Each structure stands twice: as structure tokens, then as C-alpha cells.
Amino acid sequence: MNISIIDMPLFYGCDNPGVEQGPKVLRENNLLDIFNKSHNVCDMGEVHVKNVSSNDKYAANAKMKYLDEVVRS
């Protein structure tokens, strides 16, 4: 199986602080090496997203949080 690890700040979609640390924790604890033993893993690195106040999360669309920031990334 091919697995791509993308470091994207997920809190822009789920509003749960800390979830953006997932890929970093995988790297720091060498867990990618475990996946590499039976899968082809490609670490795509970080995707940078402009920091926006949570007060402005619906600025671009009434139903889609942080739409402009995620699309521009």
C-alpha cells in the first residue's frame, strides 16, 4: 500500500486543538519506520496555512470553516 503523510493543520476543519500534531508525533517517535516495513510511505512534509482567528473562521463562507485559507494552501 502507498501511504502519503501530509502535515496539515487539521484544526482548520475540526476545531480540536492538538490534532495538528499527529504527523509530527509520527516522525518524532519513528513510527513512519514501522509503516515502511510493510508499506511504501512518502513523507510529503508540511503544508503551511495562514493563521486566522477563530472569530473569522466563517468569513468566506457561512457553512465552510476557513475556506480561503485551506483552498489557498
Q: Is the pLDDT of residue 60 over 80?
A: yes
Q: Is the pTM of this model over 0.75?
A: no
Environment class of residue 53 by beta-carbon count within 10 Å: exposed (0-12), middle (13-18) or buried (19+)? exposed
- Looking at residue 67, what is its pLDDT? 84
- Domains of the chain: which residue ranges? 2-72
Lowest mean pLDDT among 13-17, 31-35, 51-55, 67-71: 13-17
Express each pLDDT in 5-43 by its tens digit: 888 776 777 777 777 788 888 888 988 888 888 899 888
